[in-house]
Structure 1
Amino acid sequence: MIPHDRPVLAEADIAAEAGMELHTWRRRHGADFRARIPVTNPGERLRLYDAAQARAFLEGRPIPPTPPADEPREPHPDDLLSTEEVAAALGTDASTVRSYAATGYLPQGTELHGRRYWPRHVVQARIDAGDQRHHPERTGAGRQPGDPRNRAPRGPRSSTQARLQEVAADLARAGAEGQPAITAADLAQRYDISHRTAERLLAAARQELQQAPRVET
């Protein structure tokens, strides 16, 4: 989780602010940094750090104290939840959450540090709305029967298939909205996979997008 009032940085951001390549920064400063600055999201693959603490380290200033772990903190609607945390809240798994976002059952969320996050209030709204995946008549305001956003995921998919659908949806959206093209490097960072695997995933998503049926206007 990224607390709404506590900005965070990933190691790639910290290296960039230090004016170094990530591998150089890790080799020269990574061990010392990690010994002094705790992660804000223990147990997750992408390590995130309190921005104020990280910048104090970079500038050689005293490190601000970490909020006590046992200090009571009320959940805030604008806290950002990771894919794994959303999965836990919805009682499913991470690959299904990605499928939900790709099919419109869940909003796309916000991309930060190469990962996707959802505001707590969005997840709570999904919970409060109940399971509408198999009840197309209960559409949201302004949605007509047959709207693709009303379609339900067809059950659990493999992580690879979920990623493929997600990347294909992102490619289509980028093309329609004139956004920068998605690269293999983007996917390698997003899914923590090798560049070679990311290239294959990107090629497969492009092929799937080309084979998708076109709607005549």
Structure 2
Amino acid sequence: MTEDDIAAASGLPLHTWRRRHGADFRARVEVVDPRARLRLYDAAQALAHIAGKAIPTLPPTGLHPSDLLTDKEAGALLGIAPSTVRAYATTGYLPKGTDRHGRTWWPRRAVTARGDAGDLRHQNPGRQLGPRNRTPRPRHDPRIAEIAERARRFHVTTTEVAHRYEVSDRTAQRLLSAARQHPAG
């Protein structure tokens, strides 16, 4: 719980709760992670303090699967940068996470599952090579045989081929070159 959540559970506005009860609360209840920028408190301890009961001890600091991790903590667990964790969440490589207290959190079980699954990012091979339309290409261009037959009888130029078949000069050169290599038939 944040101090805002604790103030709401006490029925007070945040600034009033901080002024009246904040110092006493911070002296009695420890922050879950003192290194974190956002002060988070254990819900059971905070609610016990509000109710005036004895504050239970924190559970052992062992790792729990439902612990919520920041992008930095998840990145450290996976061995990647925090920005990569956020990118993984947007691409679906990690779950979207939950938004709490103005930032995104990921459950430890999801992060460890991603780490245990290995690198699956490249399962989609991406753009397939080759022609996009899968219609078979004709292996034999009928124009080549016609040009070869005409070239055996007459002198054929690129300009004539381009004009006769209504193709570009480069295509006419390619057709004429293929016709010269075409066997006599």
Question: Structure 1 length normalisation: TM-score?
Answer: 0.51
Task: Report % sequence identity.
Answer: 60
Question: Which amino acid is 1:114 matched to?
Answer: G
Partner of 2:162: none
Shift in Å, 1:107 = 1.0
Q: What is the 5 A alignment of 1:129-168?
A: 129-137=117-125
Structure 1 residues 84 and 60: alpha-carbon distance in aligned structure 2, compared to 1, 3 A threshold: same
* Per-residue CA distance 1:185-217 (angstroms, 9 max, x = gap): xxxxxxxxxxxxxxxxxxxxxxxxxxxxxxxxx
- Name the count of aligned residue pairs: 127
Partner of 2:9: 17
Unaligned runs of at least 5 residues, structure 1: 1-8, 138-144, 147-217
Q: Secondary structure at the match of 1:12?
A: helix
Shift in Å, 1:68 = 5.6
Q: Secondary structure at the match of 2:105?
A: strand
Shift in Å, 1:96 = 2.4
Q: CA RMSD in A?
A: 2.2
Q: Secondary structure at the match of 1:124?
A: helix
Give, in whole Å, the separation in 2 of the partners of 1:35 and 1:136.
54
Give, in whole Å, the separation in 2 of the partners of 1:107 and 1:66.
28
Unaligned runs of at least 5 residues, structure 2: 128-185
Q: Is 1:94 aligned to 2:86, yes or no?
A: no
Shift in Å, 1:18 = 1.4
Q: What is the 5 A alignment of 1:116-195?
A: 116-137=104-125
Q: Higher RCO, 1 or 2 (CA under 8 Å, sep at least 6)?
A: 1
Structure 1 residues 47 and 131: alpha-carbon distance in aligned structure 2, compared to 1, 3 A threshold: same
Give, in whole Å, the separation in 1 of the partners of 2:49 and 2:9.
11
Greater CA radius of gyration, 1 or 2? 2
Shift in Å, 1:82 = 2.4
Question: Structure 2 length normalisation: TM-score?
Answer: 0.59
Shift in Å, 1:122 = 1.3
Q: Secondary structure at the match of 2:41?
A: strand
Shift in Å, 1:134 = 4.2
User: Pick from 44, 49, 59: which aligns with 2:41?
Assistant: 49
